Amino acid sequence: MENRKKLVIVGGGAAGFMAAITLAEAQQNIDIIILEQGNEVLGKVRISGGGRCNVTHACYDVKELVKFYPRGNKELLSPFFQFNCEHTIDFFESKNVTLKTEDDGRIFPTTDDSMTIVNCLKNEATKLGIKIILQAKVMQISIEEKFEINYNNTILKADYLLIASGSNNTIWNSLKSLKHTIIEPVPSLFTFNTKNNLFRDLSGISIPSTKIKIKESAFETNGILLITHTGLSGPVILKLSAFGARFFGRKKLSVFYFNKLDKRIKRQGHN
């Protein structure tokens, strides 16, 4: 009898699906099961890119691409040589999803609908015989002769285990108990809220070119700033929050100061 191996993937998000499909395409002699705690898979992909799913970015030079990653850019170099924007485009086009590149380099399905991507991934998984179990919350993982994955008090044994659960404390604790080291997570990609919002009266205004610098640090970004009723947002802030994430996490800081912003506001007559 054929000795088939079993791979369990924890998490039915973009990472879990891409891993399952890539492996199933490369290796037929393996049973793949995705365990997803929610009622549906690919929930985040559905809401991504404002419901359009920004699939990838038209940056074809891997050395340039890694510069967009605040941490781990050296480590990402080798994986990106193996799978980058071009491979992402080929992957979807080979599955009859047509993509378009917008002026700013963002790449979306031509349908402008994230469900095109969700359905593509779900259909591929079905075609490849990948089993998906919904409402299957993994509580604990142990290693005996094989991996033993406890979900809803059912034990599933697997030869291979792939964790694609996004940010999830239960899984991190389980991995710690297996002697893995987890680097403490910190928030990233957040907007800046202030208690006394000096700019409240300007909320809704977007300033196309600003330079924002974090005091007592080397973190500085340029780009579009959006003033909101609670503080500051827009690409320049999101980028700064990502690049300075560990700094903010360590300092528990929400202090920032503006360089050029005040002058710009005055120049535009918003004072």
Given a contact cutoff of 8 angstroms between Cβ atoms, the answer to whether 62 and 80 are in contact is: yes
d(CA 121, CA 24): 13
Give the nearest distance from C-beta 83 to ligand FAD in angstroms: 14
Give the gyration radius of the chain's Cα atoms: 22
168 contributes a contact to ligand FAD by CB under 6 A: yes
- The window from 97-105, 136-144, 180-188, 237-245 that contacts ligand FAD (CB under 6 A) reads 136-144
49 contributes a contact to ligand FAD by CB under 6 A: yes
Among 8, 9, 37, 65, binds ligand FAD (CB under 6 A): 37
Give the nearest distance from C-beta 91 to ligand FAD in angstroms: 14
DSSP helix/strand/coil, 205: coil
**Neighbour count for residue 32 (Cβ, 10 Å):** 25
35 contributes a contact to ligand FAD by CB under 6 A: yes
Closest-CB residue for ligand FAD? 13
13 contributes a contact to ligand FAD by CB under 6 A: yes
Among 6, 30, 31, 43, binds ligand FAD (CB under 6 A): 43
| Residue 45: closest CA among 11, 70, 91, 76 | 11
Among 6, 23, 54, 258, binds ligand FAD (CB under 6 A): 54
146 membership: H or E segment, kind and range: none
d(CA 92, CA 117): 8
Give the nearest distance from C-beta 26 to ligand FAD in angstroms: 19
Size of the site for ligand FAD (CB under 6 A): 28
Among 170, 197, 222, 230, binds ligand FAD (CB under 6 A): 170
| Residue 66: closest CA among 57, 56, 76 | 76
CA 142, 148, 151 angle in degrees (round to 5)? 100
11 contributes a contact to ligand FAD by CB under 6 A: yes
Give residue 40's identity as a one-letter amino acid code: E
Residues near ligand FAD, by CB under 6 A:
10-16, 35-38, 43-45, 47-49, 53-54, 136-138, 164-166, 168, 170-171
